[in-house]
Amino acid sequence: MFLITKSGLGTLLRKLREARELSSRELGQLADVDHTYVYRLETGEKQSPSEELLARLLRVLKAKPREVEMAQFMMSNDVNPDWVEHVLQTDMTAEMFEMGATMRNRGSGRPDMQALEARVRRALEDDA
C-alpha cells in the first residue's frame, strides 16, 4: 500500500518503520499504541503525539540520536516531508536539519532539496 504523507513527522516515522521492516500493526503492538493511530501519524492526519508516546515509537524503531532530535523538533514545527526524506538520505546533522527546515524559499515553486542542503552547508561554512 502506498502512503501519501502530509507531515514531516509522519514521513520520519514511516521511513524508520519501513527500514525496520515492520507493518504499522506490528509497530503498534511493540510500542503499545493502536495501529490506526500509527497510520494516522504517518499520513499526517494526527500530528501531535505526546512526548511519551513518541519516545515509545522511536525506541521500538531504534531511532538514532539524530532521528530522535529531528522528531522532537517536528513536534512543535511543521517541516516539509520532502526535506525529511532528503536529510534521511544524507549525513546531515540534526542542527543542519533544523536550519534547513526553518529556511524560507523565494518564489512560489517547489524548493529544490539539494539546493536547500547546499545553502545550509554554505551557511555553516561561513560560521566556521
For residue 38, is it left (φ>0), alpha (ψ between -120 and 50) or beta?
A: alpha
Q: What is the pLDDT of residue 125?
A: 87
Q: Ramachandran region of residue 31, left (φ > 0), alpha (ψ -120 to 50) or beta?
A: alpha
Neighbours of 33 (CB within 10 A): 19
Burial of 53 (0-12, 13-18, 19+ CB in 10 A): middle
Could you read off the pLDDT tens digit of each residue along the chain, which spans 128 residues?
A: 455 668 999 999 999 999 999 999 999 999 999 999 999 999 999 888 999 999 999 999 999 999 999 999 999 999 999 999 999 999 999 999 999 999 876 666 677 899 999 999 998 886 65
Question: What is the pLDDT at residue 3?
Answer: 57
Cβ–Cβ under 8 Å, residues 12 and 67: yes
The span from the CA of 5 to the CA of 18, in Å, is 14
CATH number of 8-127: 1.10.260.40
Q: What is the pLDDT of residue 108?
A: 61
